[in-house]
């Protein structure tokens, strides 16, 4: 019985440590660099260079249309990056969920519980 309870405590600590590690790894995965800032900075550089070189053209309707079109393209690029990152995060989550570690841990805990139950049955039979 003592061995079963000890195994159970050790397994609980292992589960807590594993869950903490998985959470930290997933957070690190989510916080990794995605390149959106570079795309935005390039757009800003191009826009500012255009504004500095030809400030009078910003009032032209065709120029405004072109700038709006470039903004739409930037928005599409940023959304594509965000969607790709979302798909990667979903895939990573799926890998974690399908790793089988949780099932193995539950199986081990069930084994410990059945050992304790068997110990109680043996103790009961011995006392009868």
What residue spans define the domains of the chain? 1-32+101-128, 35-97
Q: Read off the tokens for 109.
A: 């805990």
Q: What is the pLDDT of residue 87?
A: 95
pLDDT digits (tens, 9 = 90+) for 69-105: 999 999 999 999 999 999 999 999 999 888 888 888 8
**Is the alpha carbon torsion for 111, 113, 117, 119 positive or negative?**
positive
CA 26, CA 42: separation in Å to the nearest integer?
29
CA 70, CA 61: separation in Å to the nearest integer?
14
Q: What is the pLDDT of residue 102?
A: 82
Choose the most confident range, by mean pLDDT, from 5-14, 35-44, 54-63. Answer: 35-44
pLDDT digits (tens, 9 = 90+) for 17-55: 999 999 999 999 989 988 899 999 999 999 899 888 888
Q: What is the pLDDT of residue 85?
A: 93
CB atoms within 10 A of CB 99: 12
Q: What is the pLDDT of residue 100?
A: 86
Q: What is the pLDDT of residue 51?
A: 85
The torsion of the CA quartet 44, 45, 50, 55, rounded to 10 degrees, works out to 70
Q: What is the pLDDT of residue 78?
A: 95
What is the b/e burial string over 6-18, where b = at least 16 CB atoms within 10 angstroms of the residue's CB? ebbeebeeebeee
Q: Read off the tokens for 97.
A: 């969920």
- DSSP per residue, 11-34: HHHHHHHHHHHHHHHHHHHHTS--
Q: What is the pLDDT of residue 116?
A: 87
């Amino acid at each position: 019985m003592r061995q079963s309870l000890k195994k159970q405590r050790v397994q609980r600590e292992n589960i807590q440590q594993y869950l903490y590690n998985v959470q930290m790894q997933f957070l690190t995965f989510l916080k990794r660099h995605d390149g959106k800032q570079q795309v935005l900075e390039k757009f800003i550089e191009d826009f500012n260079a255009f504004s500095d070189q030809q400030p009078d053209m910003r009032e032209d309707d065709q120029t405004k249309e072109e700038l709006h079109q470039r903004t739409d393209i930037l928005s599409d690029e940023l959304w594509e990056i965000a969607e790709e990152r979302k798909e990667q995060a979903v895939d990573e989550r799926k890998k974690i969920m399908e790793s089988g570690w949780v099932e193995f841990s539950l199986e081990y805990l069930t084994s410990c519980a059945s050992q304790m139950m068997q110990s109680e049955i043996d103790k009961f039979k011995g006392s009868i």
